[in-house]
Amino acid sequence: AGTEKPILLNSIADAEAFVSGAEVAVIGFFQDPQSPEAEQFRLAAGQVPEVPFGLSSSSAVLSHYGAPANTVALFRTVDDDRRDLDMNSREVDAKKLTRFVRINELRLVTEYDPVTAIGVMQSSVQFNLLLITDKMSPKHPERMRKFRAAAELYKGKILFILLDSNLKSNERVLSYFQLKKSQLPALAVFHTPDDQHDVLTVGEISTERVQDFCNRFLQ
């Protein structure tokens, strides 16, 4: 399966279909697909299996996206945003590129960790909703399904974030919201500009409960 990445995008139609088909998509715009920069791009593509990478060397595609050669663009549907990375500077390698993708790849539900936290902070969406829960719980997949269904309804308005209570680095967040592990799962909604927030300990997650909580806070 290693041959499928990155996908070659030969036309504007290919590129548009590629971008609209994913929550997060990355396109490398390279005039010379054999350049050292393109090689680093391929390496990075292999390191981020969950994000689709496309590569285009078509001048029509480059000008359609207003992308200079050796640019990598990340497109995300959650807030209809695009982030560009210039690969012309020699020090951009696969490692830096992978980090760029990890920081900026906001999805309908973004899992919170020290790297994605940076992207969350930079997002244009000012409301964050955290589901603070134990990922190891047998109920986790079902909770996520309901949480994601709610996330669909607030695309571009609220950023939905999954916070795993098992992660050492997340203990700070628990104490910030004054939550104990025995009270989980919990929802916390947060307005970034003024730190206003509200916490709800829920016995169980339902899409309706998440909606009620969001709507109350938004009002």
Integer Cα distance of 214 and 190 in angstroms? 10
| Confidence class for position 37, pLDDT limits 50, 70, 90 | very high
Q: Kindly state the greatest CA–CA separation across the chain.
A: 57
Please report the pLDDT score of residue 114 as a whole number: 87
Integer Cα distance of 117 and 95 in angstroms? 18
| Contact predicate 185/131, CB 8 Å | yes
What architecture is the 109-218 domain classified under in CATH?
Answer: 3-Layer(aba) Sandwich (3.40)
Buried b (16+ CB within 10 A) or exposed e, 135-173: eeeeebeebbebbbebbeebeeebbbbbbbbeeeebeeb
Distances 197 to 70, 106, 214 between C-alpha atoms, Å: 42, 21, 11
Please report the pLDDT score of residue 4 as a whole number: 67
Mean of the per-residue pLDDT values of the chain: 93
Check pLDDT > 70 for residue 1: no
Domain boundaries for CATH 3.40.30.10 within the chain: 7-104, 109-218
Q: Helices (H) and strands (E) in the chain — how many of each?
A: 8, 10
- The closest of 41, 37, 31 to 89, measured between CA atoms, is 37
pTM (whole model) above 0.95: no
The CATH class, in words, for 7-104 is alpha beta
Select the highest-mean-pLDDT range: 52-61, 104-113, 167-176, 192-201. Answer: 52-61
Tokens representing 189? 């909604």
Please report the pLDDT score of residue 5 as a whole number: 86
Location of structure tokens 């309706």: 208
**How many residues in the chain?**
219
